[in-house]
Structures are given as structure tokens and as C-alpha cells.
Structure 1
Amino acid sequence: MQPELEPLSPNISVFVSQTHRFNTDTILLAHFAAPKRGERCADFGTGCGAIPLIWLARYEPAQICGVEIQPDACELVRQSAEHCGVADRLRVLNLDLRQLPQSRPRDPWLENCDLISCNPPYKAQGTGIENPEQGKRMARHEETCTMEDVAHAAASCLRYGGRLCLCQRPERLTDIFTALCANGLEPKRLRFVQARVGKAPKLFLLQARKNGQPGGLLVEPPLILHNEDGTFTQEMLEIYGSYKEGH
């Protein structure tokens, strides 16, 4: 099946495939982690490159480096960058992020990053039902990297005070905090995501700072996805609205 082109804005689109796509969690993380103008950014496990391309559509980062272990996903990112004319600001590296802390010399696009995002596998190895398709299984289970691997790699690429933003399931919260703090990444901002008011959170969004002072965690009001009638809340309409402008 040929890759399909999914519009993200009037000028930016992303090529997706049956295996490498994006979903609501991707869009929420891209919004939560929004880079500042001129920042040097990276996206670990970038897949089809949706987060870097959403950032290029909405914000003005200086450059973004996607890191992805699967070659077919990397090719989608390259096609999108060329198609959108942003290859000078977006590049993808076909790398195993577990190698980053030891890699020398490192690619200059991964040195002293201001911001790194990661939508990691949600399931720990050996838990949940594993997808028989390798690409989807690697994206959903910690087959090729654990949260400890992500934290270690991010700490090696961030500048002092740089930010790591990620999303995960609430049941992994203590695992994430432990891995981050063990690698000098102090949790500073946390937001839970609920399907509706009164429902238990299904996701959390977290920002940590390299060499941040302990304490001072800001817990933001929960993000509610749907009204009681199933429609998007106003905040979700605003988040999706800027993404859907190109449709």
C-alpha cells in the first residue's frame, strides 16, 4: 500500500503508511511540548515525523532532528520534508536511541538540544497483547527501548536546563519519575488527560528539565477530551483546530 499524504496545515503535510501513522496522543504531545522560536529540537521515536512537522506548521523552531530505528519510517519523514520544502530544518536519523549516550562524535543536530519530545512505547516488555506486525509491536511495547533508555539518551543530548516532554499511561507514572530522576531530569510540569469529566485519566503529559532543582512540580488542570454528548470540548477544538486548518 502506497503512503498517503495527510495535511497538517496549508503548507505542511505528512506521509503516513499502514504501519506508521499518528493519533490524538501525538497531537496532544506536540501541543503540550510546543517549542519556542529558534529552539533546537529533537523527537525520539519519531515514526512518520508527525510531531516535527506539526511543530514546523505551528511554531518557528530553528531545527528538528527525528530519531527513528525503523528505516521505512525514516523514509516517510524524508519524503515529507522534501515535499514540504523543510529539509533544511528537519532531518531524520536512522538510529537506535540506546546508542546515543555512547556515540562520539555525535551528529551536531543532537548536541545541546533545547527540547526533546518522545511518545514512547506504552507497554512494558512482557505485558499486554503483542501485535504480530513488527513495526506496530515496536511502537507499542518496550521491545527496542525502555523508559530508562529514553531518559538516558535525552539527558545526553539536552543542554543544561533543556526540556524533555513525553506522554504515557498513568499506570507507568512512578516508573517514569524514577527513570527521569535517575538521569538528572527533574519533573516540572504534569497534566493528566481524561476522556470526560469524572473519568479516570487515560494519559498524562509530562515535562522534565535537565539539572532542574528538586521539587516545584506544577500539576495543571486535567485536559478533558469530550463533552457528555461525545463532542470535543472547546480546548480540544482549539488544539485540533490549528492542526485541521489545512483540511
Structure 2
Amino acid sequence: MTESATIQPVPTSEDAFLGGRLRLRQPIAGHRAGHDAILLAAATVARPGDRVVEFGAGVGAAGLALASRVAGLDLALVEIEPRLAALAELNAAANGFPAEVLVLDVAAGAAAYTAAGLVPDDADVVLMNPPFNHPARHRGSPDAARRTAHVANPTTLECWVHAARRTLRSGGVLSLIWRADGLGEVLAALGRGFGDIGVIPVYGRPQAPAIRVLVQAVKGSRAPLQIHPPLMLNEADGRPTAQAKSVLDGEQILPAPVGPN
């Protein structure tokens, strides 16, 4: 990324993730990384040397959390907002993880991707936490960056999955997190070009509907869908479950439904 010097700084905080092993600078106001990014990283399988691309990286939380677990990734962080991309670049350097940071709209066409250095059929893993709140059911934030990061338009998921399909090599893995009540949308978007789809439901508390789904899919596979054991974040009294605490502290990964072929 070459635009950092011209970007106006924003007030930031330094926050600890993975039990303090990952420290991230992020804006005090607007979009902030949280549990979703860490869960996404914990459910994503990668191997040393893999080409890994994170779409909608924000300050780099998911990609850098994955890099903290898997050494030697060829990591690219894609973010549309220049100020967040600048923070992602700072965070990668501060935590000692080499990463290429690209200011790019995930929904851009193939020519823009190639110009940015993301050529087709190249990545082993794409991970993404797309904007997923339904605009009709979610009151958008007055902060434009936060609104962009959280509220989907009708074509968001389809565009992001299409971009992932173009970027991944055959046999490469797409890993994403989405709201649980939108699982049908995810399966529909993955219907063209992906198989071996694995789903981990994420529950906020017992006796309540799932709030998220972690989904992995393999480009070009024809293997059937599998629903895997769920993750419960909290006990009935609101305390984090032992598994959730272990995952969020980076001591345990989630049993990933699929892995790179």
C-alpha cells in the first residue's frame, strides 16, 4: 500500500486479541473488529506458504489472527476504506506478520483485481466477513465506514462469492461468516462453482436460535453439504463457555469443516 502518508489519521485504540498475543490498532469510532473475525480465523485451515486473501479486512483482524497461528503465509489484506487499510498495514508490521495491503473494492471487476496484483485462480484460501445485516431490518450507523462494513445490499454476498471464486485456484477454500438466518442466501451463492460445503452454527446462548454460521466451501468440488457440531458462545448465566473462551484466546481452533486440497 502506497497511500498511507496522505491519509488523515483517526483517533484509535490498541486492543488485545487472542489472549493478548495479537494487538490491533483500530478506530475508536466506527467499525471495530470483534469476535466474528477471531471465529472466522479459528475456523479457517491454511498451511505454511499458502496464498491467503482476506476480503473486507478492516484493520486486518481475521487475516492476522490466522497468520499468528500459521507461519509463513503469503497474505493479502483487501480493504475498501483507505484509513482502515492504513491501520491494517501498521498492524501487520507491529505484530511481525508480512502482509500485502490492497485498497480495493471487493465488488470491483477482474481488471481492477489484476491491476492490484490479485490474479485469477491463484489463492489457496479466501476468508471474508462481508457486510451481512439486512438494510430493511437493521438501522444503519450514521458513521459511513461502519455502515459500509455492516449493512449488505441485495448483491453483496453474490458479488463477494463471485470474486472469491475468481481468485481461488481449483480446490481452494472459501471461508466466511454470515448471520445464521441468512444461511439460505449463502448456500444459494455457493451453488455455482463450490461444493464440499461445511457449516458450523454459532449460538449466543442455550435455548436460543443460532446467531452466526461459519461456512467453508471448496472451489470445484462436488462433495455434499455437511452440518457440523455447533459452537456455543455463552452459558445460560451469560458466562463464556470453556470452548468459546479457548477459541477466542487462540488456544483452540474450531474443527474446520474442510481444508485446502
How many residues are paired up?
240
TM-score, length basis structure 1: 0.88
Matched, 1:123 2:133: yes
Q: Could you say what secondary structure the match of 2:249 adopts?
A: helix
Describe the shift of the 1:8–1:32 C-alpha distance in structure 2 as closer, same or farther (beyond 3 A). Answer: same
| 1:217-228 aligned within 5 A | 217-228=225-236
In 2, are the aligned partners of 1:124 and 1:146 still within 8 Å (CA)?
no
Aligned equivalent of 2:37, options 23, 26, 34: 26
Task: Let me know the Cα RMSD of the aligned residues.
Answer: 2.3
Q: CA deviation at 1:185?
A: 2.0
Tell me the CA shift for residue 100 of structure 1: 4.3
The Cα offsets for residues 14-36 of structure 1, whole Å up to 9 and x where unpaired, read as: 21112232111111111011422
Match of 2:82 in 1: 71
Match of 2:249 among 234, 241, 245: 241
1:57 aligns with 68
Mean CA deviation greater in 40-49 or 27-36: 27-36
State the partner residue of 2:211: 202
SS of the residue aligned with 2:107? helix
Equivalent in 190, 196, 202 of residue 180 of structure 1: 190
**Deviation, structure 1 residue 47:** 0.6
Q: Which runs of 5+ in 2 are unaligned?
A: 1-9, 252-261
Q: Cα distance 1:144–1:14, how it changes in 2: closer, same or farther (>3 A)? A: farther
Q: Distance in 1 between matches of 2:101 and 2:113?
A: 18
| DSSP 3-state at the match of 2:75 | strand
Q: 2:67–2:73: 8 Å Cα contact kept in structure 1? A: no
- 1:101-120 to 2 correspondence within 5 Å? 101-103=110-112, 105-108=114-117, 111=120, 112-120=122-130
For the Cα contact (< 8 Å) 2:17–2:249, is it kept in 1?
A: no
Q: Does 1:134 align with 2:141?
A: no
CA contact (8 A) 2:44 2:66 kept: no
Where do residues 40-55 of structure 1 align in structure 2 (5 Å cutoff)? 40-55=51-66
- Distance, in Å, in 2 between the alignment partners of 1:26 and 1:104 is 23
CA distance in 1: counterparts of 2:226 and 2:153, whole angstroms: 32
CA distance in 1, matches of 2:40, 2:237: 25
Change (3 A) 1:20 1:130: closer
When the two structures are superposed, what TM-score results if normalisation uses the length of structure 2?
A: 0.84
Classify the secondary structure of the residue corresponding to 1:96: coil
Asked if the contact 1:170–1:201 (Cα under 8 Å) also holds between the matched residues in 2, the reply is yes
Q: Deviations over 1:188-231 (max 9, x none)?
A: 21010112232210111100111111x42221111111122221
Matched, 1:93 2:97: no
Same amino acid, percent of matched pairs: 27
How far, CA to CA, are the matches of 1:31 and 1:100 in structure 2? 30
Q: Give how far 1:84 is off.
A: 2.6
2:198 match: 189
Distance 2:46 2:117 in 1: 19
CA distance in 2, matches of 1:106, 1:181: 28
**1:126 CA displacement:** 4.4
